[in-house]
Amino acid sequence: MSALQNISKIEDSLWEAADQLRANSKLTSSEYCMPVLGVIFLRHATNRYQAALQVIQAEQAAGKMPKRPLVKGDFIKRRALMLPEIARYDHLLKLPSGANLGAALVEAMNAIEADFEPLANQLPKDYDRFDNKLLEDLLRNFDSAALRNASGDVFGRIYEYFLMKFAMQGAQDNGEFFTPPSLVQTIVNVIEPDHGVVFDPACGSAGMFVQSSHFIEHEGLDTMQRVSFYGQEKTGTTIRLAKMNLAVHGLEGDIREANSFYDDVHRLQDGRALWGNCDFVMANPPFNVDMVDAERVKDDRRLPFGLPGVNKDKRVSNGNYLWISYFHSYLSAKGRAGFVMSSQASSAGHGEKEVRRKLVETGDVDVMIAIRSNFFYTRTVPCELWHFDKSKPPLPQGEGRGEGGGLNHKGNVLMLDARNIYRKVTRKIYDFSPEQQANLTAVVWLYRGQQDRFLGLVQDYLARLGSEATDVKPALTRFETQLTACRDSLVAAFVDSAIALETLYAEKQKTFADAMAEWAEAANAYAADRATLVDGLAAYLKKFAVSPAPTFDIQHAARQAFDPLAAAERGLIKQIDLLYKLAARAAQLATDLSPSPLAGEGRGEGASFDRRATSKLIKQLDEERKAAVEQLKSATYLHRQIAWLQDRFPKAEMQDVPGLCKVVSRAEIEAADWSLTPGRYVGVAPTEVDEDFDFEQTLRDIHVELADLNREAVDLAAKIQENFEELGV
């Protein structure tokens, strides 16, 4: 089972457990939303505390840190809270039977607030309304081994999943308070917010800030020494979520309640407004708002391009371009912005087109990325990611793409159509894999003339490919060892059965013998192909050991050398699957053939066939099969990433790729009616044959989708029945 499937199962089971709180307490979603998220907060905070403590203790043992009493700063430095003992999850679980868990949870929240001023009056404390048994069940459901060891990324997804579920139940306003991590990460990768003032005027649960922190720490820097986070959010409950999200990651930010359509409430420490002074602006604002009072905003200095259009009721017809103008106006002279926007905005007409024209003429529009539908939990519509960069170099002489230093000057915009790039998480939800994310970022690097970063990514893939290729032989050996154990067991069973059984079972014996012969034939074919692959991998690893300074030519040679090995790995996966099926079939035939464990049934006595032991062997074989197949797939997957990059950018230089990307000039945008829709420029990609198409996985996906639909049907039927009962029908 993949990591995604594991997380999805964890999410579903946790939600089912938490939803019992509502069902058994008769509370509304809005009433139990915060208490449940508070428990997740404590679980996550405890995980981060324990992880930070282990790092501190290891550094003290190694002499890298003096052995002294620990202080809050030691944990904040490692992006964790120094939790008081009464606020640690394990302390709550160890409370004696009959203890008042509601009071204990309130005490834990108060202790955290007292110790961490940014959370003052923000954590949920209404646990006394819940039955003690319900709280105990809830706490224990969030204490599985998987969750005790879960990384921040896993908990981030679980937190997001719960936000989504509460949003769908009406706990928040249309799910506007969080943005899918894939989209946030894409924005972060493009604008690289690693210094100065970072502002989100529609900050929701602060996901933009958290992802920015991950980016900064990946560079080996300290977030709070590099940036200052400022946020505005119109909903008080969502602000509480944002502050909890920041705190659990050991971060701080100035987040204030305000309606950003009308209000600009922040000031920097030196008294200046954020307007015109932000190094980075990031946001996922509510789309297509049509009730903004035009009279209140018409003279706003944040609208240098004017109003996008006003209806007869003196309302702005669509608020999208208010947001777009605001984001641009907040930027400093060298600032960058990245935000999510409705796909309608990039080609909207009338007053919106006029604002868009003026915006394009500034030369600050940098990268436009089209995203397919189903990336949001609560929205199925497609969207686009807009990026501004006021630091782009001036337009070279003459309109065109210029020479050298990349193509990202003020006359050009990178159009990137990512609608055909996605990973299916569930039937309804898509995202980007980490590698897809990196590959999209690599296109931006080439657009900016950063060839070294592109080559660095390819080299990272090659290094990982070498590591995965090294692990192929041991994984195959473990599978083969288990396969041999199964075969030896069944051969022994066949001999014993042949002695014990009467002529009546001769036909079954022949069927079993034929199955074993087919298995042996497949095993011989596998052994030959396996030997060829293992020898080929050894030769590849010997020739293409990781180089400290890989060259462009070496990278291409390494990829080309692995092309036939990738094909061989795909073939061997099919053979491994076939061997497992043949072994399972032979085991079933042996079970049918073997004497009954009950005496007196006419099949003879004394045979040594052990059905339970055989079943266990086959189950273990399946586990080793999965591990071997996963290892082979890991190697071919990394090879595929290298091929994806090199096939599209063979010279490691920016070029137009049909269906994917195109660098367009201002003249081209003007000729296209000032449209900023990527699909209008990049064309259609040629049809490709997917060599890695997995028919069995596709069937499994269909079964998962069917199960989801059946579950939804059951839920809907129950809801309808409940409504009928309330009506007395």
Predicted confidence band of residue 419 (pLDDT cuts 50, 70, 90): very high
Is 689 inside any structural domain?
A: no
584 within some domain: yes
| 152 and 182 together in one domain | no
674 domain residue, yes or no: no
199 and 333 share one domain: yes
**Is residue 181 scored above 90 in pLDDT?**
no
In this structure, is residue 658 part of a structural domain?
no
Same domain assignment for residues 235 and 152: no
Element (H, E) at 230: strand 227-233
Q: In the structure, what pLDDT confidence band is assigned to residue 561 with cuts at 50, 70 and 90?
A: very high
Residue 703: alpha-carbon gap to chain centroid? 23
Scanning 26-88, the segments in alpha helix (DSSP H) are 29-61, 72-76
**Residue 601 has what pLDDT?**
42
Degrees, nearest 5: CA angle 55-57-60: 110
pLDDT band at 402 (very low <50, low <70, confident <90, very high): very low
Cβ-based neighbours of 148, under 8 Å, separated by 6 or more: 47
Q: Give alpha helix (H) positions in 365-471.
A: 434-447, 451-470
Between 37 and 519, the more confident residue is 519
pLDDT at 172: 43
Lowest-pLDDT range of 290-299, 327-336, 459-468, 609-618: 609-618
Asked if residue 22 and residue 114 are part of one domain, the reply reads: yes
**Which of these, 319, 288, 314, 286, lies nearest to 302 by C-alpha position?**
319
- Mean pLDDT, range 352-358, rounded to an integer: 96
Judgement on whether residues 513 and 621 belong to the same structural domain of the protein? yes
Task: Please report which confidence band the pLDDT of residue 327 belongs to, taking 50, 70 and 90 as the band edges.
Answer: very high
φ/ψ region of 98 (left if φ > 0, alpha if ψ in -120 to 50, else beta) reads: left
Compute the average pLDDT of residues 489-514.
65
CA 514 – CA 519 distance, rounded (Å): 9
For residue 180, the enclosing domain spans 174-449
Picking from 653, 682, 711, the residue at the C-terminal end of a domain is: 653
Q: Into how many domains does the chain fold?
A: 4
pLDDT-wise least confident of 483-492, 494-503, 654-663, 702-711: 494-503
Q: Which of 397, 417, 449 is the last residue of a domain?
A: 449
For residues 181 and 161, membership in a common domain is answered with no
Query: Rounded CA gap, 410 and 327, in Å?
Result: 18
SS3 662: strand
Tell me, yes or no, whether 529 lies in a domain.
yes
Contacts by 678-682, CB closer than 8 A, 24 or more apart: 678/368, 678/369, 678/370, 678/384, 678/415, 678/416, 678/417, 679/370, 679/417, 679/419, 680/347, 680/415, 681/415, 682/415, 682/416, 682/417, 682/656, 682/657, 682/658
pLDDT at 708 over 70: no
Please tell me whether residues 437 and 295 are part of one structural domain: yes
Tokens found for residue 225: 């020494």
Ramachandran quadrant class, 605 (left: phi over 0; alpha: psi -120 to 50; beta: rest): beta
Residue 616 sits in the same domain as residue 484: yes
Taking the alpha carbons at both ends of the chain, their separation in whole angstroms is: 45
Instruction: Using alpha carbons, select from 296, 280, 266, 401 the residue that is nearest to residue 335.
Output: 280
pLDDT category of residue 515 using cuts at 50, 70 and 90:
confident
Residue 372's SS3 state is: coil
606 Cβ contact list (under 8 Å, min separation 6)? 496, 500, 595
pLDDT of residue 88: 95
Distance from C-alpha of 183 to C-alpha of 37, rounded to nearest angstrom: 23
In a domain, 314, yes or no: yes
- The DSSP element (H or E) to which 315 belongs, if any, is strand 315-316
**CATH classification at residue 271:** 3.40.50.150
On whether both 426 and 294 belong to a single domain, the answer is yes
Q: Cβ distance 444 to 429 under 8 Å?
A: no
- Shared domain for 608 and 473, answered yes or no, is yes
DSSP-derived 3-state class of residue 664? strand
Please tell me the predicted confidence (pLDDT) of residue 716: 78
Cα separation of 509 and 707, whole Å?
39
Q: 68-82, 142-156, 430-444, 485-499: which has the highest mean pLDDT?
A: 430-444
Q: Which two tokens stand for residue 368?
A: 């436009």
Q: Which of 74-83, 401-410, 554-563 has the highest mean pLDDT?
A: 554-563
Q: What is the pLDDT of residues 302-312, one digit of tens each?
A: 999 999 989 88
Count of beta carbons in the 10 Å neighbourhood of residue 576: 23
Greatest mean pLDDT among 139-153, 585-599, 607-621: 607-621
User: Is there a single domain that holds both residue 81 and residue 199?
Assistant: no
Q: 543 and 426: one domain?
A: no
Whether residue 27 has pLDDT greater than 80: no
What one-character-per-residue DSSP string does 493-522 give?
A: HHHHHHHHS-GGGHHHHHHHHHHHHHHHHH
For the record, the structure tokens of 128 come out as: 């006394």
Residues 653-668: what's their mean pLDDT?
Answer: 96
